[in-house]
Amino acid sequence: MIEEEAVVTQLEANQAWIKRLHIGGCSGCLQQTTCGTSVLSKLLPKREFAVDNDMALKVGDKVTVAVDDSQLLFSSFLLYLLPLLVMFIAVIATIKLFPTAFVEYWLPVIAIFALLFSFYLIHRIQAVLVMYFCSKPQIVAKTD
């Protein structure tokens, strides 16, 4: 299990909205001025998300959240390889279905469009993908 500390920001029926306390190791890294990950972590807002709650929690409580690491490989495949597979399928379908003159001119555009469209679809159905295919985070303990 991969564990992270978080704080409860709001409570709903059987769910607690949590936000990470620590943003990661970027602040201690010597490469943060040239690293894309640290640049993205500075630009993107800190996200809150809902997790199932069966504990007696209050807003402001610190909790330990865990994710089952056995699902990480499958999640990585789904989020990184799936768009590439969609792009390759679109390229192969274009080559098989259209004349050579059309393919020579439009193939790069179709490949990039298929890749971007698959990224868009994954973004739009992200909650469903996480719920059914990836391991959901769980609150495992309340910390002081």
Tell me the HSE value of 73 on the side-chain side, using a 13 A CA sphere. Answer: 1
* Containing structural domain, residue 15: 2-143
Cα within 13 Å of Cα(39), Cβ side: 5
When comparing pLDDT for 108 and 130, which is higher? 108
Q: How high does pLDDT run on average in the chain?
A: 78
Distance of alpha carbon 106 from alpha carbon 44, whole angstroms: 34
Q: pTM score, two decimals?
A: 0.54
Residue with structure tokens 């050579």? 100
- The mean per-residue pLDDT over the stretch 10-27 comes to 76
Predicted local distance difference test score (pLDDT) of residue 77: 74
Backbone phi, then psi, for 49, in 5-degree steps?
A: -150, 160
Helical spans, DSSP H, in 59-143: 72-76, 82-97, 100-124, 126-133
Biggest alpha carbon–alpha carbon distance for the chain? 67
User: What is the total count of domains within the chain?
Assistant: 1
Which tens digit of pLDDT belongs to each residue from 81-94?
Answer: 889 999 999 999 99
Separation CA 99–CA 21 (nearest Å): 56
pLDDT of 46 strictly over 60:
yes
